Chain A
């Protein structure tokens, strides 16, 4: 109905911005332009994630088994924490839209309070994401790695995960960390894992009930667990151990999973961070009465658009990283 134009006469000049078919202010239109282009950037990243996942569709890590931690609680709680993060972000979106609404009614005090709660929500979200990253990088059980870069995880006969530290047999070793102060001064090596491949292999051989779980999915969509004979045979291929995750190795499976996790959630987290900073600037502008003097709170509305967009992107990241 809105699109039906029932007056064709020019109310203003035809060119030079005289016509306003979209009936939105310059600032809001430009914010929508930016949001659209940013949405396409994020779509590019998430579609690239889909590309890599389809490439390794039979061996992609299962998110429920990777993100199982909740701060201050021990045990296996898949998804609860990320659901909490999602709720915090949606909640901060609500306080933001309430701030916009209060702005329309020129209620300065309410805008201040709602902006304040929005900022707090954003800070809680970013800190949670930092904690999630730290947990992901630290890892939990550790895993073996083969020459081809495939990850082998350890389980007992019931399928419960076994940590490297539970079974690895310490062996006498001459190997020392290569640091910058030794040998050629400008080279050093990265962090070495706690156990060598030989120690882990000896541990598996010594414990009869330890089995290898490969990265490949079976028909039920679960990771394939090898028999004891296959486990012992597979140990031939082991060349190293992995604990936690970086951009090259991770104990959860395909390295690209870690790369996309860091890149996409990192890029989103950066958006949240800039959103918080812009919110803080606007927050102080509201306090000193800039928009009261200007006669309208459109600036709050524009930063609100950006903030909701960040929430919108998270809805998709949540689905494609944690659910699908």
Chain B
């Protein structure tokens, strides 16, 4: 059984001497990311509390802009940061702990792309529907709070 490991992370900018050193390096990276998440979660800085952009008004291109830049218009930057950091952590767990980095590209894509496309669709459809029901509760009832 071949067991060569690819020892570079950050697109080759950081190369470890052996596999064990790489494992500890990735642990340090994951710990730093978790520490940042926890610090932000406790502190909740003001600048990340409200979206950086407000929705564009009027016309087809405004709508297109709202869809394309939706993450910056409708999401709190803090939540966006948490989700991006989570995906970064997931990447390193899969690539280095689960050895995806050492597998052939076909296996990587078979697993990762399948998951990513299905999950994106599922999240899109469920969050859209949830928001629709929220609007119905808000505007479609005499009172909802009794």
* Residues of chain A from 29 to 60 with CB closer than 8 A to chain B in the complex: 29, 32, 35-36, 39-40, 43-44, 47-48, 50-58
Of B34, B104, B122, B133, which one neighbours A86 at CB under 8 angstroms? B34
- Once A51-B126, A51-B127, A54-B127 are accepted as A-B contacts, the answer to whether A22 and B98 lie under 8 Å apart by CB is no
> B115 in the interface, Cβ–Cβ < 8 Å?
yes
**A168 contacts the other chain (CB 8 A):** no
Interface centre among A22, A29, A52 (most CB of B within 10 A): A22
CB distance from B88 to the nearest CB of A (A): 10
Task: Tell me the number of A-to-B contacts counted with CB atoms below 8 Å.
Answer: 157
A3 at the interface (CB under 8 A from B): yes
Asked if A98 is an interface residue, CB under 8 A from chain B, the answer is: yes
User: Within 8 Å CB of A148, what residues of B?
Assistant: 144-146
State whether A3 and B105 are in contact (beta carbons under 8 Å apart), knowing that A64-B41, A97-B23, A147-B146 are contacts in the complex.
yes
B97-133, CB < 8 A from A = 97-99, 103-107, 110-111, 114-115, 118-119, 122-123, 126-127, 129-131, 133
Given the known inter-chain contacts A40-B115, A91-B27, A148-B145, please indicate yes or no for A315 contacting B90, CB distance below 8 A: yes
* Chain A facing B: main interface SS: helix
The residue of chain B having its C-beta at the shortest distance from the C-beta of A315 within the complex is B89
Is residue A324 within 8 Å, beta carbon to beta carbon, of the partner chain? yes
Q: With an 8 A cutoff between CB atoms, is B20 at the interface? A: yes
Contact with B along A6-28 (1 / 0, CB 8 A): 00000000000000011110000
Flag whether B14 is at the interface (Cβ < 8 A): no
B111 engages A36 (CB within 8 Å): yes
Asked whether A208 is an interface residue with its Cβ less than 8 Å from the other chain, the reply is: no
Is B134 a contact of A98 with CB atoms below 8 Å? Answer: no
Asked if A22 contacts B110 (CB within 8 A), the reply is yes
Give Cα A65 to B107, complex, Å: 43
Given known A90-B31, A323-B37, contact A308–B111 (CB-CB < 8 A): no
B118 to chain A, nearest CB (A): 6
A58 and B134 alpha carbons, distance in the complex (Å) = 9
Q: Is the CB of B119 within 8 A of A83?
A: no
Contact assessment for A43 and B119 in the assembled complex, using a CB-CB cutoff below 8 Å: yes
Is the beta-carbon distance between A308 and B93 smaller than 8 angstroms?
yes
Determine if B115 and A36 form an interchain contact, defined as CB atoms under 8 angstroms apart. Answer: yes
**Does residue A119 face the partner (Cβ distance < 8 Å to B)?**
no
Give the shortest distance, in Å, between A306 (CB) and chain B (any CB): 10
Q: Is the CB of A308 within 8 A of B97?
A: yes
Chain B interface size, under 10 / 10 to 19 / 20 to 34 / 35 or more = 35 or more
**Cβ-defined contact, B41 with A79, below 8 A:** yes
Task: Given A23-B104, A32-B111, A316-B90, verify A50-B83 contact (CB < 8 Å).
Answer: no
B38: Cβ under 8 A from any A Cβ:
yes
Q: Is B137 an interface residue (CB 8 A)?
A: yes
| Neighbouring B residues of A147 by C-beta, 8 Å | 146
**Pairwise interchain contact A308-B98, C-beta atoms closer than 8 A:** yes
Cα–Cα, bound, A43→B122 (Å): 8
Contact B93 A22 (CB under 8 A): no
Q: With an 8 A cutoff between CB atoms, is B19 at the interface? A: yes
CA distance A97 to B96 in the complex (A): 9
Partner of B146, one of A29, A80, A146: A146
Is the beta-carbon distance between B93 and A311 smaller than 8 angstroms? yes
A233, chain B: closest CB distance, angstroms? 13
Chain B, 35-78, contact with A by CB distance < 8 Å: what is the 0/1 string?
A: 00110111000000100000000000000000000000000000
- Would you call B30 an interface residue if the criterion is a C-beta within 8 Å of the partner chain's C-beta atoms? yes
Q: In the complex, are the beta carbons of A315 and B93 less than 8 A apart?
A: yes
B20 shortest CB reach to chain A, Å? 6
Residues in A with CB closer than 8 Å to B115 are 36, 39-40, 43
Q: Report 10 cross-chain contacts, Cβ distance below 8 Å, ordered by A residue.
A: A2-B105, A51-B129, A51-B130, A56-B134, A90-B27, A301-B99, A312-B90, A319-B82, A322-B41, A323-B79
**A-B interface, 9 closest residue pairs, ranked by CB to CB distance from nearest:** A54-B130, A51-B130, A148-B146, A51-B126, A319-B86, A3-B105, A22-B107, A83-B38, A2-B104
